[in-house]
Every structure is written in structure tokens, then in C-alpha cells.
Amino acid sequence: MIYHATIEGRPEETISCRVFDPSLGQWLSGETWGPESEATLTQLTSVGEYRHSGPVTYPYAGVVIEYLLQGQAKPIGEDPITAAPGVDQFVIPVVTVGGGSTEFTTQKKFNVRRGDSRRIPVSLGLDCTGWTAWFGGKRSAAQSEYDMPLRQLTWQSEADGTLYIDLASTDTSETGTVYGEVELRKGAERNTPEAYTFRIVEDIVR
């Protein structure tokens, strides 16, 4: 199975991925599992503005893709894989069963300094022609108001499913955790291919 890994990073940086199984506590090493020191690394390619991307092979759902910056031992990010075996991680379900649809949502985490503006590249890896993309964020799903206001996003390429989420300083003005989603809409259909956890931390320079 192939996961199209994407993460923010400066063009001059070297970023790689490895596959971790939290149930085993081991990393993928070739076609077997082993300790962290033997993990197979897949180097990503710098594409576009502040984005690294590339295909990563994984054996089954439930694993975690860990992103590593060259020279650092601790992962700089991770993507839990929720797609069932044999299903493309990025296929948007269009068949609804029993009032709900099967969910294939990629989870991503970001640390953001309070008051910073950020451009987040999004690459869904699918043809989104005919869909509109929306983004919003809340500190709790139970609340009605948005902490990151609901907005329609502009496609960079509908055919490739690429766009940007632009966070303004007003979106990150308060510390804490905000949960965001990209939702695709076409008529009455709604699908959420990516979800985000934004950890807004104190800034040092003011």
C-alpha cells in the first residue's frame, strides 16, 4: 500500500519518513519489523514552496508515518494511517450506508507560535474536480462558534487535489489546542479527507 506523505519544510532541508507500528513498538525494516536503529528511511522530495512529498510503502492500517529531519533523532511530525488494507488512503467515499459514510481521514499535527501566520500546503492526491474545499477550526467539536473561522479554500489544482490553508495571526492569537478540518462539498455530499491538530504555543519574541 502506498501513502503519499507530505509535510512542511524548507527547500534546503532533508526530510525522510519511516513506518512505526505502535502495537508492536517496532519500525518497518525492509519487509520485517525491528528496532528504531534499523528502520528503513524513505527520503522525500522538495516540491513547491516549503513542502516535501513522496510515496511511502506501508503494509496495513494502524501504523504511523514518522517524519525525520536530517540530524535530528526525534520525529518532527507524524501521520496515523487509518485506511483499511487494500484501500487507497486518498479515495473519497461516495457511497453512504446506513446514514453514514466510511471515513478515510488523514490526521496531521502542527505546532504554531502564538500570533504567527502560516501557509500549510495540502495535497489530497486525488481528482477533486467539481468539489469545493472548506476549512475551519474549533477548540471543541461541541461548540458552535469557530476559533479559526470557516472559509472556502482556493484550489491550486482541482485535478491534483492541491491547495493551501492560510492561517492569519488572528487564527493563532490564543494559546491552546485547535482542531481543524478540510471538508469537501459537492451538492449534498460531504467528505473530510484531512484533519488537523494545531498546538498554539507561547511566543518568545514579541
pLDDT in tens, 92-142: 333 222 333 334 466 788 888 899 998 888 888 788 999 999 999 999 878
**In the chain, where are the structural domains located?**
2-80, 96-201
96-201 belongs to CATH 2.60.40.10: yes
C-alpha triplet 164, 51, 115: angle, nearest 5°: 60
Tell me what pLDDT residue 48 has: 64
Cα(155)–Cα(115) distance, rounded to whole angstroms? 26
Closest to 153 measured CA to CA, from 162, 138, 163: 163
Strand stretches in 44-188, DSSP E: 45-46, 51-57, 64-69, 77-80, 96-97, 100-101, 106-113, 118-123, 132-138, 148-153, 155-157, 162-167, 176-186
- Give the least confident one: 3-17, 45-59, 80-94, 136-150: 80-94
Q: How many residues in total does the chain contain?
A: 206
Question: Based on C-alpha coordinates, what's the Rg of the chain?
Answer: 17
pLDDT in tens, 39-64: 999 999 987 666 788 888 888 888 88
Residue 105 pLDDT: 60
pLDDT higher for 66 or 3? 66
Residue with cell 477550526: 137
Burial class of 58 by CB neighbour count within 10 A (0 to 12, 13 to 18, 19+): buried
| Each residue's pLDDT tens digit, 146-178 | 999 999 999 999 998 999 999 999 999 999 989
